[in-house]
């Protein structure tokens, strides 16, 4: 039995629809065909594949910025790709 409050365990139909839209639009969530399931990937290949950085249509500009250490630690603790997640968070914060 989960120890989360009930209001966190239940989602609305609207929230479920949004989750399903996000899943459908996730380029990393590809359907596994019967043919692909017969050809499993090695762990080494899977790990190398996940480390490939997405190429953006708009090249990013490298800058130097002063941030609070706890903010940096928060994003770094989420693993590889933390700078991209920080970029995404900033874009959402300013409405882009």
Task: Tell me whether residue 73 is in a domain.
Answer: yes
Number of domains present in the structure of the chain: 1
Q: What is the DSSP letter of 3?
A: -
* Residues 78, 87: Cα–Cα separation, whole Å: 14
Q: What is the mean pLDDT of the chain?
A: 83
Say yes or no to pLDDT of 46 above 60: yes
Residues 14-35 have pLDDT tens digits of 999 998 898 888 877 777 778 8
* Residue 73 structural domain: 64-96
* Residues 63, 53: Cα–Cα separation, whole Å: 19
pTM tops 0.75: no
Task: Tell me whether residue 75 is in a domain.
Answer: yes
């Amino acid at each position: 039995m989960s120890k989360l409050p009930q209001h966190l365990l239940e989602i609305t139909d609207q929230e479920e629809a949004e989750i399903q839209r996000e899943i459908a639009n996730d380029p990393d969530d590809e359907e596994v065909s019967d043919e692909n399931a017969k050809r499993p990937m090695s762990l080494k290949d899977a790990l190398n594949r996940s480390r490939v950085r997405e190429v953006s249509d708009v090249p990013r500009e490298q800058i130097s910025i002063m941030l609070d250490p706890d903010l940096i630690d928060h994003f770094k603790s989420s693993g590889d790709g933390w700078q991209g997640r920080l970029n995404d968070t900033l874009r959402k914060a300013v409405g882009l």
